[in-house]
Amino acid sequence: MPPANGVSTPGSRPGSTKPGTPISSTSNSSLILRKQLLDLQKNPVDGFSAGLVDDDNILEWQIVIMGPADTLYEGAILKARLIFPPEFPLLPPKMIFDSEMWHPNVYDKGDKKGEVCVSILHQPGEDEWGYEDAGERWLPVHTVESVLISVISLLSQDVPDLSSPANVDAAKEVREDFASYKKKVKRLARRSAEEAYD
């Protein structure tokens, strides 16, 4: 997504919000996000930690999710980013896993690789395909905490929801060879923990 002012920063990742977005368009977002970050630092929530990728850019956060106990992700240390639009909280952030993921709700190819596809992160309003109620989609009352709890809940499901997968191959494997799916997820979870300590 190009920055609002058209200035690009060499070396930044696709989907990243670049520094240089005019302050006037992000001042409300900045205040809300700074408050949420401060709240999370003062009152940490079990299962994840959050901080800024760059202290000068409140619109991009580094997230670490600890794999939920008694799930395929137990022991994982999953790294991700939340990228907020200047219009936050009116529009949802994007969540992109930097750790390799194999899940029906996480894109695994192209420009969207690592991006989480879950109702709470979908644009507000009616779903043009009729899969979701407007109340399941993004609402301005959602917070970073509610988004991350939703994603942790997604990872905690015994069997992932296959109704509209972002990763069709993972969904197919869940349906046709669940044992193989579980083995791959557990291997990636172990790898994420090993990479966290490298």
Q: DSSP code of 75? A: T
Q: Is 89 helix (H, G, I), strand (E, B) or coil?
A: coil
Q: Which of 85, 64, 92, 94 is nearest to 76 (CA)?
A: 64
Task: Give residue 187's pLDDT.
Answer: 98
Higher-confidence residue of 6 and 76: namely 76
Task: State yes or no: pLDDT of 136 exceeds 90.
Answer: no
- Record the tokens describing residue 104, joined without a space: 């029906």
Q: How many CA atoms lie within 13 A of 63 on its CB side?
A: 32
pLDDT tens per residue, range 170-180:
999 999 999 99
Which residues are part of the catalytic machinery? 117
Task: State yes or no: pLDDT of 18 exceeds 90.
Answer: no
Average pLDDT of the chain to the nearest whole number: 87
Tell me which of 51-55, 72-76, 109-113, 130-134 is least confident: 130-134
Higher-confidence residue of 9 and 144: namely 144
Q: Is 195 helix (H, G, I), strand (E, B) or coil?
A: helix
pLDDT tens per residue, range 30-43:
999 999 999 999 99
Task: Give residue 122's pLDDT.
Answer: 86
Task: Give residue 26's pLDDT.
Answer: 61
* Single-letter amino acid code for the residue at 16: S
Average pLDDT of the residues in 122-149: 82
Sign of the torsion angle spanned by Cα atoms 17, 95, 78, 48: positive
Question: Which residues have a Cβ under 8 Å from the Cβ of 62 and sit 6 or more positions away?
Answer: 50, 51, 52, 53, 79, 80, 81
Q: How many CA atoms lie within 13 A of 117 on its CB side?
A: 20
Q: How confident is the model at residue 135 (pLDDT cuts 50, 70, 90)?
A: low
Integer Cα distance of 127 and 26 in angstroms: 27
Q: How confident is the model at residue 137 (pLDDT cuts 50, 70, 90)?
A: confident
Q: How confident is the model at residue 130 (pLDDT cuts 50, 70, 90)?
A: low
Task: Give residue 7's pLDDT.
Answer: 39
Average pLDDT of the residues in 49-58: 96
Task: Give residue 46's pLDDT.
Answer: 94
83, 98 Cβ separation under 8 angstroms: no
